[in-house]
Each structure stands twice: as structure tokens, then as C-alpha cells.
Structure 1
Amino acid sequence: GISGVAAALLLQVPWQVGLLLGAAVASTDAAATFLLIQQSGIGLRPRLKDTLLLESGLNDPMAIFLTVTLTSLVAKMQTDAPFDLASMGVLLVMQAGIGILGGIFGGRLLARLLDTLSLPVGTYPVMTLAGALVIFAGVSLLGGSGFLAAYLAGISLKAKLKRPIDRIVDFNEAFQWLCQLVLFLTLGLLVTPSALLQDIWPTIGIAAVLMLVARPLAVFASVGWMGFTLRENIFLSWVGLRGAVPILLAIYPVISPGPITVGFFNVVFVIVAISLTTQGWTIGPVARLLGLGPQPPKAKDEAEVSAP
């Protein structure tokens, strides 16, 4: 909402279009976040890392739902057709409810199936991938969020599977990176570099509001009371990297009937690029500045000597 208001004011577009842009850039990227954290050598405590992972997985379905809903709203705005808010509320409940139930029970059923079958070791990762696709498609056909279901199915599978899961995790991690490479390559083909500079200053302003105002307010409002220290909340506020999902979501309004042009896609692309470069390159220094990095050996040894 905050990013949407900033977009509407800076780009001088209707508030519906501004909120649509805010929804498109709302999702964070777990893969980019943890890759940069791992490369920076930051020793975050597990609860902080798990929070980032959980957030990045759960905010994708909501960002998709909001983008689809607001795209419909913008299209109806052009034709002066009434917007049924009640039906959108019912749709949201169905998407979340069926997605949660389908993901949890689907993951448990898949875990039991893998534990029961006796197959060559190399086939279990493929079976897991096939099961995830079935869960995604089945929940989507029932009116739920397939993305939420697939995410929760993975968590449920890891919790319930008795068979060693290392090979499955390694396979899916490699497959995930392959998919992201293909996705970014495809998205890159849609970009015209000269067109990215048309609204560059308003776009930089939206990115600044997103990183410095909207994200910190959202973090402190949602998890500020959950026992994290002030430094950890500040770190969570800064590590809200945008990735492939916002760029992918920006394509949907452009190709859908309505007034949204390719300029919308260009704005989202630049916001993601600013987030990845500005926040991504500073994850390590910010963590160390806040005292969240690994403790130096000398200081650790002195603490052990001075301990009673």
C-alpha cells in the first residue's frame, strides 16, 4: 500500500495503477537473499534465517493474488464496470484455505508414498518433483493457490519423510537454479535498455520509498513484537531483496486487457535492479555494522577467558 501510494504520486497515475505496481513489487526473493548471505559469510542465528525463508515463501502467493485482483480492477476501471469486492474476498479465502490444506495434506501423502515405495535411489527426486506438480495442479483446479500449496508441501514433506532427504534437496536446488537462469534469460529478452530511462527518477523515488519506508514499517508492524532485537529488526528491514517474481508479475498486467503499457514492466524491472544492487551488495556490511556477523576469534577467546 505504501509503495502504491508513492507510485501513484511520483508517476502521476491513478491510485489503482499505483497499488497494482505496489503489489507487483511486494514479493521478496529467498534464493537471492540466501545466496548473498552465504557468500558474505554472515553467521545469522537460525530463527532470523528461518524468518527470511518463511517470508519469501509465503509472500509470493499473496503478491500473485493481489496482482491478479488489481489487474482486474484496473481493467474494470476503464470500462466503468462495477468491482465486486465481496467476491474478491471469497476468492482470497479460497485461495489461502485450499492452498494451505492441499499443501499440508499433499506433502504428508507424498512423504508416505515415498517411504512406502522401494525404488532406485536416483528416482526419488524425480518422484518428488512429479508429486509437487500434481499438488500444484490439483489445488489450482480446486480454486486454491497452487504456489502456496507447493511451498507448504515441501515443508510438510521434509518434516514427515523418514527416508534420507539429502539427494532430493540437492536435486531440487539444482533444478531451482536452472529454472531461475532460464527465467531471467527470458525476462532479459523482454527488456529494451533505452526504454528503462524514461521514468528513471520517479522509479528511483519509488524504490527508495520501498526500501527505506515501506519495508521497515511492514517489518516492525508484523514481527517487531516477536522477540527480535532492534538490530535484527533493522536487518530484516534492509534484507527485502526483490527478484524474478516481481518482474514476472509485471508481465501479467501488460499482456492483460486494460490500460497498462510496457512502461509498467520497465518501472518494475528498474526497481528490482536497484534492490538487488543496493541491498544485495550491502548485506554483509550492514550485518557486520549491526553486530550480526560471526564473532571474531580473538574477541571470542577473551570472552571465554574472562568467563567465571
Structure 2
Amino acid sequence: MHDAPYLLILLVIVAFALVSRRIGNSLLSLPMIFMAAGIALSVLTPGLVPMEMQQHLTQTIAEITLIIVLFADASVVKFKTLKRDVAIPARMLLIGMPLTIIAGTLLAKWVSPEAAWGTAMLVAAILTPTDAALGQAVVSSPSVPERIRQSINVESGLNDGLAVPVILAAALLAAAATGTAVEGAPENLWLFALTQLTLGPAVGVGLGWGFARLLDRAIDNQSITTVYQGILFLAVAFLTYLVAESVGGNGFIAVFLGGLTFGNCLRNDTTFIEEFMESEGQLLTIATFTIFGAVMVPLALDHASWKTVVLALLYLSVIRMVPIWLSLTGLGLSRYEKFFLGWFGPRGLASILFALLIYDEYPIPGSDEILACVVLTVMISVVLHGVSAQPMAQRFLHRAAGELPDAPRSSSPTAKPLAQDDDGSHHP
């Protein structure tokens, strides 16, 4: 039966829907369940997706999902709260992210001394960006203080674009170590980075503001239905990405800042965005992780080794958490808050996209092993961050209720308002 695989997936979706509320309160997560369903499909129906379509299909679905998730998540971040606590994500991006790449490069070189420095830096740069889709369980949890949720959201929204110049530079260095020329590589990497990090934000802010004004006018004139508000939102997200990429800017940064501007400039109710993400957005996440499990996981397991396992575990723990902890020193955060921010750096769609891009376009020795390391890291992240999301989020409620002792806070000027937030309206 050719339709057997599709019937199996549809039955899994139906079963998940019937118990979705209970699963939402358990240690399981949507990405975890549908990644497992994808792996089961690959075992039961090998060759379901033709080899020549596998990576292209995965890359396309992951890119579509990432664009929508970034735009939607950014649209619910409010400038007022972000302005008050902007130091947290700013330090994570400007201090924690470079330290993570440096530490990751040293680790990769230590695990594989024979690898070129460019290859080591490439692995580190691909595995540094965090994933908004996998962070949904934490970002949407009312148990987690708003400043912590928004910091995770902003970091995952911006670090994808910030990593691109580093990834391309590392890929060029790795290719140069073999004496191989790369077609289509930017002639001036500094100019490329400058245009990526300036034109992308400019496009995002401009389109976000412009379309928010247009939508407000349409709603005030009663010329648009609620259904088409969601469709407009979807079109603006993709339009922002494509315009930014066409002028040389970074599409992911443009999408995040476009969503941030759109959500804050829109005067009318934005409930339609949340409703969209609870339906169509969930379907895209289901498709992404099912295909990931069916296509990418078997490929990774074929090239996995002790080195890839060690790298995956360390990138998800020490290499991420220590730099983030150091970057947050002096902000008045408790030890648990810094631990939480360091731990919830899940790896997912962005890392997969970057790895596939490099795999397809850059002739780098050991590219199969690099892809295997990235996929293995994402696979472990889906499980570990999925299982730990609910218990670690609930711990904030216990701390607020006085059931757990709170760590001493710093005497920095920001300590008082941060402590007030913990006891304020962020908790039900």
C-alpha cells in the first residue's frame, strides 16, 4: 500500500489531537512525538522520500516553519517590557554568543585535532544559534517570568542572522584549507556582513511598520475579515524574508524585527496571530519534525561516531551554559535564572538549515560528519529540552510561593525591579 505511510502519520496526528491537553501537561512535546513518528516511518517504509528530494524537502519545510515562527513570536514581544530588560538578551547575544563560538571551536579542535581550524569554527557557529520553535514550551509558559521568556525569544530570533557571516567565513576557511575554490562565495566578507546586518533590519522595520499601518486602516474601515488578517500576516512574513534576501540583507533578522515592529505598531487586537500559530503553525511544526525524523536522523546515524556524540552533549551543556552564565554576571539575576537561560538554548531549525546549506554548496572534507553532528545535536536537544521544559518552568512557581529558597540577588541597580517582576503579574 503506497498510502500506508500517510495513513500512519494521519493516525498519529489524530491520536495526538485527542490527548493534546494531557500531553501539554506532561514531559512529552510535539517535536519529540513527531520526530519519533518520522523515525518509525523511515524504519517501516525505507525509501519513502527519493534520495534526490530528501535534503531539499527538509530544507524547504524547515525554512518555511522558521520564517513563520520567528515572525509570530516577535509579534508578541512588547517594546515596553523589552526596553526594561533589554540588557539580558543584549548580553547573551553580544557576549555569550561570541564566547560560545570560541569555546565550541576549541572543543571541536580538541575532539578532532586533524580537522582544520575553519572546520572547527564552522561546527561551532552552526550549533550556536538557538531555536524559537523548540523553545515554545518555555516561551509560552506563564510560569516563567516575562523577562526570562522574552530574553529567550529575542535571543533565538536574532542569533540566526548574526551567525550567518561567521558560518560563511568559517566555511570559506575550511574550503581554503583544501585549496578548493567556492563558487558564489562573497568577494568581500566584511561588506557582505555589513549588508546582512544593516539591510535586513531596515527591511524588517520598514515593512513591519508599513503593513501594520495598512492593516489598522483596513480594520478601522471594516474592509478586511478576521480570516484574511491571518492570511495577511502570513504573506507579510514571507514578503519580508524575500525582500530582505533580494537586496542582500539577512532574511531571518528581517523577519524577526519585522514581526517585532508589526506587533508593536498594530493598534488593533493581535489575537489572530496567536490563533494562527495554534493551528497552521502547529501543522508546520508537525511536518518539519516528522520529515526531520524520517530523513535527517537516519542519515546522521549512518555517520555518527563517539566524536559526534561527545560534541553534541557538550554543545548542549557546558559550551552553551558557561558563556551565558558569564555574560549575565552583574544583572541581578538569581543563580537559577542564569542556569535556566543557559540551559534553554535548544538547537533546531536554524542549525539544520545552515548545515544543509553548507553541505550542498561548500566542498568541505568531512561534511557528512558535520551534518551528522548537527542532526544528532538537534535530536538530543528535542528530547532533553522537551522533557525538562515543564519541570523547570514549574520551579519558578515554587520559588515564587516560597517553597524553594531563592538565591541572593546582586546589589546592582537593576536588582530591585527584576525581583519585583518575580512577585508581580507574571505568575498566575
Distance 2:362 2:308 in 1: 24
Q: Call closer, same or farther: CA 1:75–1:297 in 2, change over 3 Å.
A: closer
1:180-195 matched pairs, under 5 angstroms:
180-191=285-296, 193=298
The partner residue of 1:292 within 396, 400, 403 is 396
Quickly say closer, same or farther: Cα 1:173–1:43, change in 2 above 3 A.
Answer: same
Task: Give the one of 376, 381, 393 matched to 1:275.
Answer: 381
**2:363 aligns with one of 247, 258, 266:** 258
Is 1:19 the counterpart of 2:124? The answer is no
Q: Which residue of 1 aligns with 2:270?
A: 165
Q: Which residue of 1 aligns with 2:5?
A: none
Equivalent residue number for residue 226 of structure 2:
121
Mapped partners of 1:76, 1:61: distance in 2: 24
Specify which of 239, 242, 247 is matched with residue 352 of structure 2: 247
CA distance in 2, matches of 1:20, 1:151: 24
Q: Distance in 2 between matches of 1:75 and 1:267?
A: 19
Q: Any idea what SS the aligned residue of 2:135 has?
A: helix
Q: How does 1:138-177 map to 2 (within 5 A)?
A: 138-177=243-282
1:179 aligns with 2:280: no
In structure 1, the gaps of 5 or more residues are 301-308
1:86 is displaced (CA, Å) by 9.2
Letter in 2 for 1:292: F
Please give the alpha-carbon distance, in whole angstroms, between the structure 2 residues aligned to 1:192 and 1:242. Answer: 14
SS in 1 for 2:333: coil
Quick one: distance in 1 between partners of 2:269 and 2:393? Answer: 34
Query: Contact 1:42–1:292 at 8 Å: present in 2 too?
Result: no
- 1:262 is aligned with what amino acid? D
The aligned residue for residue 4 of structure 1 is 105
**Distance between the aligned counterparts of 1:249 and 1:140, measured in 2?**
15
1:130 aligned onto 2:231: no
1:112 aligns with 2:213: yes
Distance 2:103 2:360 in 1: 25
Question: CA distance change for structure 1 residues 65 and 191 in 2, over 3 Å: closer, same or farther?
Answer: same
Q: Which residue of 2 aligns with 1:211?
A: 316
- Deviation of 1:186 after TM superposition, in Å, equals 3.2
The CA distance in 2 between the partners of 1:230 and 1:206, in whole Å, is 26
Among candidates 160, 176, 200, match of residue 305 of structure 2: 200
Q: Deviations over 1:30-50 (max 9, x none)?
A: 222232576xx7711111111
Contact preservation (8 Å) 1:125, 1:172: no
Deviation string, structure 1 residues 288-308 (Cα, Å, up to 9, x no partner): 6xx5234587969xxxxxxxx
Shift of 1:199: 3.9
Deviation sequence 1:206-234 (CA, Å, 0-9, x none) = 12322332212321343333332222111
In the TM superposition, what are the counterparts of 1:51-90 in structure 2 within 5 Å?
51-79=151-179, 87-90=188-191
Instruction: Provide the residue aligned with 1:34 in structure 2.
Output: 136
The residue matched to 1:276 in structure 2 has which SS?
A: helix
Kept in 1, the 8 Å contact 2:347–2:381? The answer is: yes
* Superposition deviation, residue 123 in structure 1: 0.9
Q: What is the one-letter code of the residue matched to 1:215?
A: R
| Number of the residue aligned with 2:149 | 49
CA contact (8 A) 1:42 1:284 kept: no
Instruction: Note if 1:238 corresponds to 2:339.
Output: no
Distance 2:110 2:362 in 1: 24
> Per the alignment, do residues 298 and 220 of structure 1 end up closer, same or farther by CA in structure 2, a change over 3 Å counting?
closer
In the TM superposition, residue 125 of structure 1 has moved relative to its aligned partner by 1.3
TM, length-normalised to structure 1: 0.84
Q: Which residues of 2 match residues 217-232 of structure 1 at below 5 A?
A: 217-232=322-337
Alignment correspondent of 1:305: none
Tell me which residue corresponds to 1:303.
none
Q: Deviations along 1:106-158, whole A, 9 cap, x unmatched? A: 11101011112222221111112212222221121111111111111111111
> SS where residue 292 of structure 1 aligns?
helix
Contact in 1 for aligned 2:138/2:389 (Cα 8 Å)? yes
Deviation readout 1:44-72 (Å, 9 max, x if unpaired): 11111111111111111123333233223
The total of aligned residue pairs comes to 295
CA–CA separation in structure 2 for the residues paired with 1:156 and 1:48: 20
Name the SS of the counterpart of 1:30 in structure 2: coil
Q: Go from structure 1 to structure 2 and tell me whether the alpha carbon gap of 1:144 and 1:296 turns closer, same or farther (over 3 Å shift).
A: closer
Cα shift readout 1:12-47 (whole Å, capped 9, x = no counterpart)? 421211111111111112222232576xx7711111
2:193 maps to which residue?
92
The change in CA–CA distance for 1:176 and 1:61 in structure 2 (over 3 A counts) is farther
- Supply the distance in 2 between the matched residues of 1:192 and 1:231 (Cα, whole angstroms): 33
CA distance in structure 1 between the partners assigned to 2:299 and 2:236 by the alignment: 43
Give identity over the alignment, percent. Answer: 25
The answer as to whether partners of 1:139 and 1:149 remain within 8 angstroms in 2 is yes
| Residues in 2 aligned to 1:189 and 1:280: alpha-carbon distance in whole angstroms | 19
User: What is the alpha-carbon root mean square deviation over aligned residues?
Assistant: 2.9
Deviation at 1:185, TM superposition (A): 3.1
